[in-house]
């Protein structure tokens, strides 16, 4: 009898889920965290708004960041997180 290694979830597994399902791949497993509470959502929105101002100005071609509410962040293979606020250096 052989112990086959369990299959690790991938980014494609997230695409196979219905669009309204919020999920991440953590330690190779699909995880569906609970919905955020209003207080948490307001805090994430405030953080995105405050950081977007000095770092992400679309009218300023010298702006070097994209600040996004939600976004996929690849971690070490195969993990993929979806934090509330993300910043990407462009």
Q: Is the pTM of this model over 0.85?
A: no
Residue-level pLDDT at 62? 64
Residue-level pLDDT at 39? 92
Q: Residue 69 class from Cβ within 10 Å (0-12 exposed, 13-18 middle, 19+ buried)? A: middle
Residue 16 to residue 73: CA distance in whole angstroms: 18
DSSP code, position 73:
E
DSSP code, position 1:
-
Residue-level pLDDT at 58? 62
Q: Is pLDDT of 56 > 80?
A: no
Mean pLDDT of 32-52: 86
- Contact at 8 Å (CB) between 81 and 73? yes
pLDDT digits (tens, 9 = 90+) for 1-36: 567 778 888 888 888 999 888 888 888 899 998 887
């Amino acid at each position: 009898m052989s112990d086959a290694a369990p299959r690790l979830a991938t980014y494609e597994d997230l695409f196979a889920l219905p669009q309204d399902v919020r999920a991440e791949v953590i330690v190779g497993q699909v995880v569906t965290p609970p919905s955020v509470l209003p207080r948490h959502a307001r805090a994430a929105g405030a953080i995105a708004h405050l950081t977007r101002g000095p770092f992400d100005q679309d009218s300023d071609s010298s702006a070097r960041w994209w600040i996004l509410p939600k976004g996929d962040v690849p971690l070490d293979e195969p993990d993929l997180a979806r934090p509330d606020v993300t910043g990407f250096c462009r």
